[in-house]
């Protein structure tokens, strides 16, 4: 059974807190405000309706039915007897002491309801209401008391009382519906976000696991890409990075092995010939010259390799600099050609220089030592890899605002599959020629810093060709 990648709990937690948290808070606020609005609507409507009824009843009673203070009780009893809503609302008439004198439910006569709105109505001579438990029965009620005034004097109170049990039940049902809807929305949001974040967390966990394996040394591993969005692009980049690190690690390993071999070979020759010359007591001058020549040749090879390594080290840590000045490019290039022509002749290789009898005296801005290093490296590389063709051609032309330098060998050329990589550091490909594999990388860096281009390809008819383009300084 495959090991499941670790769950990125921190990411899920942050997502839930930052994304779902505000939604939950808003929905809870909506629930609270909705419930408050429902309560206010139901209870407020019932209270307003009862207050309107009390006001209308008190105005009618004061104006049309109560003709004298002595007739108060009789007219109140008649009014109670004719009250048509006694099944849902209890109508009471109270005296100034707050006790019931008559009611649509006659059993309550003589008792004192004891609710606060009665006293407020008597004191302020205004309609007052009360909502809460009945002090006598404990039932939740809504009561509205309206003072009865005769000749400017309060003679009693008309009180309407109704149970709010049905309103409570209706409010509770509506509140439960609101809470249920809010909880449903919150649940939907949480579930959908969990599904979404899980779809993000799982690939992130896989990428994290792969990154840990890569950092642990498992270079070249590939993550199965099952995604077509930004996560798929991230997986592709991780896979590409892993592959390139693997290739770089392989090239560095091969580079170390190659450099070790390259250093050991000339050192072995130098040591061998040194010991031979020391032990030769015959004094053969021919033997001496031959030994010294080989020692000198191998020493130069070691020097070139060490210089390449130093240049590469400077490139890596940012110490690679140019000493810029006006440069006669043709003179520098011809100096390199003439220097190597004699060396190549000794190895049986012909170096042909084509200048077209042209004089290119317009200077460029650059570092003459670095540019000559490029020319020498490319010429040496042509002899090393294409020397089997026994011929190398070098040319310089002006093409628009650039100088173009071409160096071609007539050897086997470069395999097409290796062309994109020949300028990479440490890369040697299938070539068996001796070298560190960083010379062309250094050349490419130097030319680029001069604002030019360094191109390597195969020539028509066989062999490889290197084209160096450098911009001409505007006079």
Question: What is the pLDDT at residue 127?
Answer: 92
Distance CA 224, CA 236 (A): 9
Q: Does position 86 have pLDDT exceeding 90, yes or no?
A: no
Asked whether the predicted pLDDT for residue 17 surpasses 80, the reply is no
Which ranges in the chain are annotated with CATH 3.30.450.20? 12-169
- 91-95, 116-120, 156-160, 199-203: range with lowest mean pLDDT: 199-203
Split at pLDDT 50, 70, 90, the class of 108 is low
Average pLDDT over residues 131-156: 87
Please give the average per-residue pLDDT across 311-317, as a whole number.
66
For CATH 1.10.287.130, list the domain ranges present in the chain.
230-316
Render pLDDT for 346-403 as a digit per residue (tens, 0 to 9): 888 889 888 766 777 788 888 888 898 889 888 888 888 777 778 999 999 988 889 9
Fold of 230-316: Helix Hairpins (1.10.287)
Tokens 């090239």 label which residue?
A: 251
- The CATH class for the domain spanning 12-169 reads alpha beta
Residues in the chain: 475
pLDDT of 29 above 70: yes
The confidence score (pLDDT) of residue 197 equals 74
What is the pLDDT, as a whole number, of residue 259?
Answer: 66
CB count, 10 Å around CB of 107? Answer: 8
In the chain, % of residues over pLDDT 70: 85
Q: Show the tokens assigned to 290.
A: 């031959």
Per-residue pLDDT tens digits for 408-439:
998 888 888 888 878 776 666 656 555 556 77
Query: Cα separation of 109 and 256, whole Å?
Result: 113
Question: Does the pTM of the predicted model rise above 0.85?
Answer: no
Per-residue pLDDT, 475: 38
| C-alpha pair distances (Å), 305 with each of 14, 21, 268 | 55, 64, 15
Cα–Cα distance measured from residue 434 to residue 257, given in angstroms and rounded to the nearest whole number: 12
What is the structure's pLDDT at 418? 82
pLDDT greater than 50 at residue 5: no
Q: What's the whole-number average pLDDT of the chain? A: 81
Position 452 pLDDT exceeds 90: yes
For range 18-35, the mean pLDDT: 84
CATH 3.40.50.460 for domain 325-471: no
H or E, element range at 256? helix 230-279
Assess whether pLDDT exceeds 70 at residue 88: yes
CA 464 to CA 387: how far, in whole Å? Answer: 11
In the chain, list all ranges with CATH 3.30.565.10.
325-471
Q: Measured between alpha carbons, how far is 340 from 384 in angstroms, rounded to an integer?
A: 12
Answer yes or no: is pLDDT of 6 > 50: no
Of 450, 466, 442, give the one whose Cα is nearest residue 379.
466
């Amino acid at each position: 059974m495959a090991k499941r990648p670790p769950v990125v709990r921190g990411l899920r937690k942050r997502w839930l807190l930052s994304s779902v948290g505000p939604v939950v808070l808003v929905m809870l606020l909506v629930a609270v405000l909705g419930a408050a609005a429902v309560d206010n609507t139901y209870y407020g409507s019932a209270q307003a309706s009862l207050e309107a009824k009390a006001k209308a009843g008190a105005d009618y009673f004061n104006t049309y039915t109560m003709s004298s203070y002595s007739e108060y009780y009789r007219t109140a009893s008649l009014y109670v007897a004719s009250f048509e809503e006694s099944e849902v609302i209890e109508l009471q008439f109270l005296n100034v002491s707050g006790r019931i004198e008559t009611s649509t439910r006659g059993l309550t006569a003589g008792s004192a309801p004891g609710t606060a709105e009665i006293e407020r109505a008597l004191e302020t001579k205004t309609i007052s209401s009360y909502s809460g438990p009945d002090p006598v029965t404990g039932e939740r009620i809504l009561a509205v008391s309206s003072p009865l005034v005769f000749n400017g004097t309060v003679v009693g109170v008309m009180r309407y009382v109704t149970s709010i049990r049905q309103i409570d039940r209706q409010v509770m049902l509506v509140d439960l519906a609101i809470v249920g809807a809010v909880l449903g929305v919150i649940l939907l949001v949480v579930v959908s976000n969990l599904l979404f974040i899980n779809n993000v967390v799982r690939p992130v966990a896989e990428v994290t696991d792969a990154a840990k394996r890569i950092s642990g040394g498992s270079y070249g591993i590939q993550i199965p890409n099952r995604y077509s969005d930004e996560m798929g692009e991230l997986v592709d980049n991780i896979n590409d990075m892993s592959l390139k690190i693997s290739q770089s690690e392989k090239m560095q390993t091969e580079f170390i092995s190659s450099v070790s071999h390259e250093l050991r070979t000339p050192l072995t020759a130098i040591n061998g010939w040194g010991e031979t010359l020391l032990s030769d007591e015959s004094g053969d001058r021919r033997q001496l010259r031959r030994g010294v020549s080989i020692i000198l040749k191998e020493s130069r090879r070691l020097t070139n390799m060490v210089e390449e390594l130093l240049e590469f080290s400077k490139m890596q840590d940012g110490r690679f600099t140019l000493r810029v000045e006006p440069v006669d490019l043709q003179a520098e290039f011809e100096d390199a050609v003439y220097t190597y022509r004699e060396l190549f002749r000794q190895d049986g290789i012909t170096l042909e220089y084509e200048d077209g009898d042209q004089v290119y005296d317009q200077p460029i801005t650059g570092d003459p030592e670095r540019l000559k290093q490029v020319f020498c490296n490319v010429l040496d590389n042509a002899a090393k890899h294409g020397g089997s063709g026994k011929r190398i051609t070098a040319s310089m032309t002006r093409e628009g605002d650039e100088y173009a330098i071409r160096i071609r060998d007539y050897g086997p050329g470069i395999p097409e599959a290796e062309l994109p990589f020949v300028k990479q550091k440490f890369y040697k490909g299938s070539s068996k020629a001796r070298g560190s594999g960083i010379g062309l990388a250094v050349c490419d860096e130097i030319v680029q810093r001069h604002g030019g281009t360094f191109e390597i390809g195969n020539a028509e008819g066989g062999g490889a060709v290197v084209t160096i383009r450098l911009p001409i300084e505007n006079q």
